[in-house]
Structure 1
Amino acid sequence: MGIPRRQGEADVNEQGLVGLAPAHPTFSEAAKVWAKIGLLSFGGPAGQIALMHRELVEERRWISESRFLHALNYCMLLPGPEAQQLAAYIGWLLHGTRGGVVAGMLFVIPGFFVILALSSAYALFQETGWLASLFYGLKAAVLAIVIEALVRLSRRALKTGFDRLLALAAFLGLFVFALPFPLVVVSAGVVGYAVARRAPVHRTASQAAKAPDLPSVIGADFPEARPSTKRAVAVVALWGGLWLTPFLIIWGALGGANIYSDIGVFFSQMAVVTFGGAYAVLSYVAQQAVETYHWLRPGEMVDGLALAETTPGPLVLVLAFVGFMGAYRAAIGIDPLTSGLLGATLATWVTFVPCFLWIFLGAPYVERLRANVALSGALSAISAAVAGVILNLAVWFGLHVLFRRVERLESGPISLPLPDPATLEPTALFLTMLAAASLLWWKRGILETLALCAGAGWLLTLL
């Protein structure tokens, strides 16, 4: 059962006009929107966060800007795909546990079935060129969507010099010095906490300087959930039990040492350490999958990442590809394709079930932090750093969309990705400009823009 919302309360929007928050969406209405987001969530975490911001904050006003950023800050601190966890968090706010489960599952399910189909085709035919042609224009459209959302988000999240300094530091730390993602985010939180403790009046004034929220379903007056030890124990028992269930089935049916138990244990470990999403552990997974477990051949991890990048859903779904190929090549008494499907399903299960555990266990406590000045200051500082994080993701994505070759400059502490100017893709640049014109000039929606660029990309690659 969701947290109730008092309807009809007046609020003040950005222009100082009094208005009413929209009606609380029904569960079925929300499910349709979560399904739409799941189907359109291309472009990695930057594109996915941009899409949710546009759909939930700007167009429907189901959650206010400040509450959206508060939830995102917490999700950035967790292991696992932050965009999927953000969807589960907002779904939980709207309709309780069932809302969080549906939002989180619908964010993953479309991409999961696509990656299953593509992994099967890859295993059988070892060919992905047709896929690149199909999604060529789609990537360019997502880049334009990311840029537009980043500008909107930055205007509201970066209102003070302190905020802009944190965002710049976060971007430079990640993009230029390749610092670990958790270090950047946690450092911003520590700085924000220290500033709020030493100068709470100044920090409160900084936050007040930001533009007020538009009237939203989940706004400043939205009732808070009450955390309790009893609830926390129940959450751990339920989601921890779901996490362990596949292992009990595998050990009961096949015993201890087999391909499925290896997949389950390995990707459970990855679920606990994947701070910053798929890229944070990609090299380690590739090394282990090729050299230790022999699930993949050299170079196949890059193919798997290409499949995950061109499908909706979190990029960490690349782990489903790895699980598929491992089980496909080490089938135990069953058809290799069936074995691969089981391996991919197991890898996905142990990767995403922990995400629900982190959200349902911690979200009620994080909601209460909004009333704590020092801790709220820490999360507000993380908001500013998140703008830099998303800028880093957007630039990384843009470089790989617009250039065929991107190399890394290593010099002392500097580890900077640099594109080869000679490999600029004029077609990709044209499609990105077409998408920007569709969004900003012609005022078309995301779906129309994606369809326009996908069709244009397909025609241009044929020519």
Structure 2
Amino acid sequence: MTDAPETQEQFSSELTKPLYSLWQLTLYFLKLGSLGFGGPIALVGYMHRDLVEERKWISEASYQEGLTLAQVAPGPLAAQLGFYMGYVHYGILGSTLVGIAFVLPSFFMVVALGWAYTNYGGLSWMQAVFYGVGACVIGIIAQSAYKLTKKTIGRDWLLWAIYVVNAISTIITQSERVELILAAGVLTWLIKAPPKNWFRGNKVNGFIGLPLISILASVPSASPNLLWQIFIFFGTAGSFVFGSGLAIVPFLYGGVVKHYQWLNPQQFLDAVAVAMITPGPVVITTGFIGFLVAGFAGACVAAVGTFIPCYLLTIIPAPYFKKHGKKPGIAAFVNGVTVAATGAIAGAVVVLGQQSLRDIPTILIGVVTLALLWKFGKKLPEPIIVLAAAIVGLIVYPLTHS
């Protein structure tokens, strides 16, 4: 008997006939992309509630497989799970349409905000809004970093070491070190689930590394053309977002602000704030950044570059993952890179906080935001906190910058 990989047809034929049409699923994700606030964890929860529990379109087993794949492969968690939900019964076409429907609403929103920011960013009222919102975002990221830390590490000394090293590295270099994140995955894999029968052709050994290598190898070196340069950078960024969309923040900061100097630190913080006040996946901030750098074309190229890797890393391994996804080695690798990315997010809180928490009012806004999230958790939606911070900014900014 051969160990040939399962085809998409074999993958789909094992599933029951869908209780919904592709059009219905596409409309659902269009609505989720338009109204789904709360970040990746909330969006993942909405999908489970709506598609598994209430409508019963997707089985619990398929949902869990999709969630595990979204954590294993690089890519923003919510977007990648959405791609998989489209793939379950309708294959590549379903994944494509669902992905477009999920991303487009927030993309158009950030483009509109980018246009307003570009044309009116010098106005005092908009500066006041981002004065308050930027400080609020630091509190939100800090709370997310705490929750991710609590969820992923526990009392494991190895994971704590990985976490601390990546946090310190991010603070010192002011950027996310991709090589440290991948090394963390490999180290955790080798220590916690060392490969057996290494030389006997176990095909799953290359499952994680090969897609990453193939994507990066297919990207040529930096081009003089700005749009091509944007595509290369954001394509690379989209290839290394593990677990949460916030993991892309330190990576983007290192490239956009420190290396290419496309934006200054304040503009970058404003871009992160825009992602917080719009629905859909957090990584849509790349569209806003692309617009500031190169207009509408830059927004399109940045968004496409960000989402293509996670799209490919959903539809390509999906048939294989159904068979091999629960391998201990894969789980250990994912655990390592997730903890490393969480450490980078914690480090980014310090880096970004130095830029945003620059006086007593902004420090108070950040601290109050963190306290509110700590006290009320999910009962207090983040967009409401951001809106309140914007109002505070409108009131306080004129008093402190007169």
Matches within 5 A, 1:26-425: 27=22, 30-31=25-26, 34-35=29-30, 37-39=32-34, 48-57=39-48, 60=52, 67=65, 70-76=68-74, 81=76, 84-93=79-88, 95-127=90-122, 128-132=126-130, 135=133, 139=137, 142-143=140-141, 146=144, 150=148, 153-154=151-152, 164-178=156-170, 180-193=177-190, 195-197=192-194, 262-274=225-237, 275-276=240-241, 277=248, 279-280=250-251, 282-286=253-257, 289=260, 296=262, 299-300=263-264, 302-311=266-275, 312=278, 317=284, 319-321=286-288, 323-325=290-292, 327=294, 340-370=295-325, 376-389=327-340, 391-392=342-343, 394-396=345-347, 399=350, 403=353, 405=355, 425=363
Taking structure 1 as the reference length, the TM-score comes to: 0.56
Q: State the 1:152 CA deviation.
A: 7.8
CA contact (8 A) 1:115 1:308 kept: no
Q: State the 1:326 CA deviation.
A: 5.1
Q: State the 1:303 CA deviation.
A: 0.9
Name whichever structure is richer in helix by fraction.
2
In structure 2, what is the Cα distance between the partners aligned to 1:456 and 1:322?
Answer: 24
Q: State the 1:129 CA deviation.
A: 1.4
Aligned-partner SS, 2:316: helix
| Residue number in structure 2 paired with 1:17 | none
Encode CA deviations 1:153-194: one digit per residue, 9 max, x unaligned.
44xxx68x6xx3343233122102347234333442454256
Aligned-partner SS, 2:169: coil
In structure 2, what is the Cα distance between the partners aligned to 1:169 and 1:93?
Answer: 38
Aligned-partner SS, 1:177: helix
In structure 2, what is the Cα distance between the partners aligned to 1:397 and 1:314?
Answer: 19
Q: State the 1:390 CA deviation.
A: 5.3
The letter for the 2-side match of 1:341 is F
In structure 1, what is the Cα distance between the partners aligned to 2:224 and 2:134?
Answer: 37
CA contact (8 A) 1:38 1:106 kept: yes
- Let me know the Cα RMSD of the aligned residues: 4.7
- The reply on whether 1:456 has 2:388 as its aligned counterpart is yes
- The reply on whether 1:428 has 2:383 as its aligned counterpart is no
Larger radius of gyration: 1
The letter for the 2-side match of 1:453 is I
The letter for the 1-side match of 2:271 is L
The letter for the 1-side match of 2:100 is M
* Structure 1 unaligned blocks of 5 or more: 8-22, 201-231, 245-259, 291-295, 328-339, 407-418
In structure 2, what is the Cα distance between the partners aligned to 1:145 and 1:3?
Answer: 39
In structure 2, what is the Cα distance between the partners aligned to 1:272 and 1:456?
Answer: 34
Encode CA deviations 1:224-279: one digit per residue, 9 max, x unaligned.
xxxxxxxx9xxx9xx9xxx99xxxxxxxxxxxxxxx99234223322453234353
In structure 2, what is the Cα distance between the partners aligned to 1:131 and 1:262?
Answer: 34
> Percent sequence identity over matched residues?
17
Aligned-partner SS, 1:425: helix
The letter for the 2-side match of 1:104 is G
Encode CA deviations 1:289-342: one digit per residue, 9 max, x unaligned.
55xxxxx5xx54641452244224556555544544554xxxxxxxxxxxx323
Taking structure 2 as the reference length, the TM-score comes to: 0.63
CA contact (8 A) 1:137 1:456 kept: no
Encode CA deviations 1:412-435: one digit per residue, 9 max, x unaligned.
xxxxxxx88978722332233334
In structure 2, what is the Cα distance between the partners aligned to 1:199 and 1:87?
Answer: 34
In structure 1, what is the Cα distance between the partners aligned to 2:163 and 2:115?
Answer: 38
In structure 1, what is the Cα distance between the partners aligned to 2:302 and 2:230?
Answer: 6
Structure 1 residues 53, 82: closer, same or farther in 2, change over 3 A?
closer
